[in-house]
Structure 1
Amino acid sequence: MGSTFHGVIAFALLASMLLCGSLLRNRISLLRNSLVPASIIGGLLGFTLLSLGLIPGFEATDFTALTFHFFTLSFMSLCLTGNSKDTSLSGGSIVRGGLWLTLIWTISLGLQGVIGYAVIAAYDALTGASVSEWLGAIITHGFTQGPGQALTYGGIWEKDYGIENAAQVGLIYASLGFLVAFLVGVPMAKNFIRRGLNANKASNMGDDFKSGFYSDEQKPVSGHMISHPANLDSLAYHLGLLALAYVLTYIWLGAMQPVVADFQPGGINLSVLFSYNLFFCHGLAVCVLLRLTIDRLGLSHRVDDETFKRITGSSVDFMVVGTLMSIKFAVLYALLTPILLVTAAVTLATLIGCLFLARLSGTLGRERAITAFGCCCGSTGTGLLLLRMMDANFSTSVPKELAFFNLAIVITNFHILFVFAPLVPSLGGWTYLMIFGGNALLFLASVPLLMKRRPEAGQAPVNPIKEPC
């Protein structure tokens, strides 16, 4: 049985780092006042211990699979959660809000690549260096997509096109992206909360919020028992529903993979869309259909939404810790200056873009701004974690918008992600700038069309000038 413990202990280490992070947040005033989430503290602690070799028998790769599955579970459980019954916290149509998030992310995807390419080109021109511009362009995959895609595309560029160190630089950008998301995002969320600009007033700057633990008098009640404990524990019951969706998704992908294996219209390998790397996309669709079936059959009383919210929140915590513990910083000292210049320029442009475009989205614009910034600098999970600071119990419509966004970006960016991104170095500089920059400009030009959409029934028309973030 000894061989079965490695994966279980890896999970136990994630949980232990979360516990340590929560205790450090509670005890250290600097961490407490800066509102750094326990998952970030625990993740950085775990990363440090791994880097120093203080966790014998484990390395960063042991936590990659756990991170992937907790990311998937967080959004599948979110889609099994019903709509909030508090209509005052709704930002209108979930589809419309999701389209705004999709618009912001799509513009960032193209803009970040163009800025990264241009900064390296300018750096070479001013210093006489010969750093490849593609080592700047890959920042968009590290920032908007995370370490997995940065490593994937960087590995292809390095192996097939000879872009030296592309994979390692992509991982550095991904790591810096996570740090930037929280170094900038947490103070921004904190400022919104302090000024009372967040819609969900359950998130405030009280002592409990700062310490990370509720006092005895303030402990909220979360969830209702659905199944009788003499029959089945209610948490196990809800985990069973989520597990059913997971199994159905797995069966669906297994059945579709041989069907699309040889289907390559226009030379595009569509089997990529049915790979297990995109499990979460198919899982979201399965969960939406499962929840719709439950509601249509009149069985919604057999599901407790608060329990699913707790599963979502826990999955996000484990995912963030796992992400930080699974990243290796391959520090390339010779490239440190251009990497920092690219990171600074992209961060500034992304921040301005998220604030400006989210302001135009109307109600819940601040929540969308903080969420979009997290997604555009780290990953969808980072955006969800930052959102949780302003929407502690996921009562607004933004979490559901984020679930819709995850499906929509695959459609709106299919040509970028599955056609052009793998072969970027073969495009040439000007072609790359036209494709990625043109895609960003095209979606930026569509902003007025989304603003002209009719507001939901009972909503006042949006006036972006009078609704500052």
Structure 2
Amino acid sequence: MAMQFWDIEIWSLLITLTILFLGMMVANSLRRIIGPLRRSLIPSPVLGGFIVLAFDFFVKTVFKVDMFNNITVEALTYHGLGLGFVAITLRDKDPTDNVKKERSTIMNYGIVVVATYLLQGFLGGAATIALNETIGNVFPASGLLLPMGYGQGPGQAYNWGNIYQNEWGFENGVSFGLTVAAMGFVSASVGGIWYLRNMRKKGLIKESEYDEFEETHIKVANKNEIPMSDSIDKLTVQVSLVFIAYIMAYLMMLGIDKIVETGIMGNFGFNTVRPLVWGFNFLFATFAASILKGILAFLTKKKVIKRVYTNDFFQTRISGLMFDLMVVASISAISLSAFLVPSFVISLSVLVVIGTVSTYIYLDIVCKSVLSEYRHEAFLGLYGMLCGTNSTGIILLREIDSSFKTPVAGYMVYQVMYASLFGVPMILLMGFAPQSYKNTIITVIALVVLFVLMNVLLFRKDIFGKNKKKK
């Protein structure tokens, strides 16, 4: 029987999107109306996610129906991350290009980011191993989701929670990862407010006066770009490029998956490579977008294309939309029934405390010593990013650097190159750890060793500089 327009399947996705967007709009209105809520620095998508989650719980309890399909919001979380990274990569230039030459400082930021991941990872892993030994019924490797939720954000928290749940039997793994990520946003706000309050007490800053909706010097179009509206709308072109690049990424991942299916890699292919490939859709998306960007640049150079097709303004807006949607969807996808399991709540609470306190203390030490030139800006930007997402870091940074006069925002953008390189061993360990209890213990030890090595590299001038002076 043919599907009819009144069938719920026709409207399901639109209803889900409307609920998520409505949650963000309500949250944004509440932030504008309620002063303390606005000063909490919790982003509207995060607050919107909690509103949708609470309302969904109310509807399920009272009316015994689901407000939306959880598979849909999980898919939005997964694809929102990849599509957002495509849009970021397709931008022609970044306003922070002037910091590109400061390689040593940018590398230090990348090292700090990876070192914080490692710190969160080995403390989280050690905590859940200890909890499993004491209270029992705790998935030993679940603590490794702390850096994925705090450091990487909801997209990666979902990806790894899903892998641990479906591949290695971690019950409620998806909800655990997403809840860690959601609490990361709260931790970023609480820690950020605490730090700002201390700065105000010391007279280092005044009350923030910037309007969160105020944006200055916005350049909508660059020279020689395609017209705003022709036979095809300019925004349509931008969205088309994003989806073309993302499908290119899908084909790459599918190609690797087909190789895995041949069995040439053995169990390593099925147990490690496949989950890593599909879990890191955003890296393949970034690579595919770079290829597409290179193809367009080549065709322009050869005069095959006479106009510039990508537009920075629209690509920035698309990435913002995708990341906002990813955040609100990720929190909405949390299963509250998991909170009825005592071990779930206890391990989650322990990880949140460990993640918040350790990240705050470590970054405070590092920013005082290695990143001292812009110590406070570096702390707020990195703390927000390493508990929430890049946008959370920017929100905190704007409290003391509203016009981005310092280069910290640029450092936060370009450190990704170094963080991606230095972070490879940890990513491989994430796939290795859940395979057995022994593997989890080995992983925690390996993370400690990597953390020490990262800090030797970070404090290289202090360590090796002193040795040279002694000689």
**Normalised-by-shorter TM-score class:** 0.7 to 0.9
SS of 1:413's partner is helix
What is the DSSP-based 3-state SS (H/G/I as helix, E as strand, rest coil) of the residue aligned with 2:280?
helix
Matching of residues 110-149 of structure 1 within 5 Å? 110-119=118-127, 129=135, 134=140, 137-140=143-146, 141-144=148-151, 145-149=156-160
Q: TM-score, normalised by structure 1?
A: 0.75
- Alignment partner, residue 319 of structure 1: 326
Which of 98, 102, 108 is the equivalent residue of 2:116?
Answer: 108
Query: Is it true that 1:208 corresponds to 2:204 in the alignment?
Result: no
What is the aligned partner in structure 1 of residue 187 from structure 2?
180
8 Å Cα contact 1:46-1:325 kept in structure 2: yes
- 1:237 and 2:243 matched: no
Question: What is the deviation of 1:49?
Answer: 0.8
Unaligned 5+ runs, structure 1: 199-203, 454-469
C-alpha distance in 1, partners of 2:209/2:190? 21
The percent identity for this pair of structures is 18
Distance 1:274 1:179 in 2: 28
Deviation, 1:245, is: 1.2
Shift of 1:70: 1.5
Q: Tell me how far apart the structure 2 counterparts of residues 205 and 30 of structure 1 sit (CA, whole Å).
A: 14
Task: Note the aligned Cα RMSD (angstroms).
Answer: 4.1
Please list the CA deviations of residues 84-125 of structure 1 after superposition, one character each: whole Å capped at 9, or x if unmatched. 35655x2645x7666445433433343334323555677799
Q: How many Å apart are 1:271 and its aligned residue?
A: 4.0
Who is 1:264 aligned against? 265
- Following superposition, the deviation at residue 407 of structure 1 comes to 4.1
2:15 and 2:413 map into 1 onto residues whose CA distance is 33
Counterpart of 1:20 (choices 21, 26, 32) is: 26
332-341 or 439-448, which moves further after superposition?
332-341
Separation of aligned partners in 2, 1:74 and 1:406: 18
Q: What is the correspondence of 1:392-411 to structure 2 with a 5 Å cutoff?
A: 396-398=409-411, 400-401=413-414, 403-404=416-417, 407-408=420-421, 411=424
Count of aligned positions: 429
In the alignment, the residues of structure 2 paired with residue 165 and residue 18 of structure 1 have an alpha-carbon distance, to the nearest angstrom, of: 26
TM-score when scaled to structure 2?
A: 0.75
5+ residue gaps, structure 2: 465-471
Whether the 8 Å CA contact 2:245–2:292 is kept in 1: the answer is yes
CA offset digits 1:389-427 (Å, max 9, x no partner): 5368999434642653674365242431233x2225133
- Does residue 272 of structure 2 align to residue 276 of structure 1? no
Distance 1:292 1:376, change over 3 A: same
Q: Which moved more, 1:439-448 or 1:78-87?
A: 78-87
CA distance in 1, matches of 2:382, 2:307: 31
Deviation at 1:226, TM superposition (A): 3.5
Give the counterpart of 1:334 among 339, 342, 366: 342
Evaluate the alpha carbon distance shift between residue 72 and residue 24 of structure 1 in structure 2; reply closer, same or farther with a 3 A threshold.
same
Q: Is residue 83 of structure 1 aligned with residue 93 of structure 2? A: yes
**Superimposed CA distance per residue, residues 314-361 of structure 1 (whole angstroms, 9 cap, x where no aligned partner):** 222212111111122322463445643443133211122234435625
Q: Give the secondary-structure state (helix, strand or coil) at the position aligned to 2:232.
A: coil
2:469 maps to none
Alignment partner of 2:57 out of 23, 48, 51: 51
Q: Give the residue type in structure 1 aligned to 2:72.
A: D
Alpha carbons 2:45, 2:328 under 8 Å: kept: yes
Moved more, 239-248 or 392-401: 392-401
For residues 241-284 of structure 1, give each alpha carbon's deviation from its aligned partner in whole angstroms, at most 9, with x where no partner exists: 21221232223333343234334279455642674332211110
Question: Residue 43 and residue 173 in structure 1: after superposition, are their counterparts in 2 closer, same or farther (change >3 A)?
Answer: closer
How big is the shift at 1:7? 1.2
1:344 aligned onto 2:353: yes
What residue identity is the alignment partner of 1:264?
M
Question: Alignment partner for residue 353 of structure 1, among 354, 362, 368?
Answer: 362
CA distance in 1, matches of 2:294, 2:440: 47
Q: Which moved more, 1:271-280 or 1:284-293?
A: 271-280
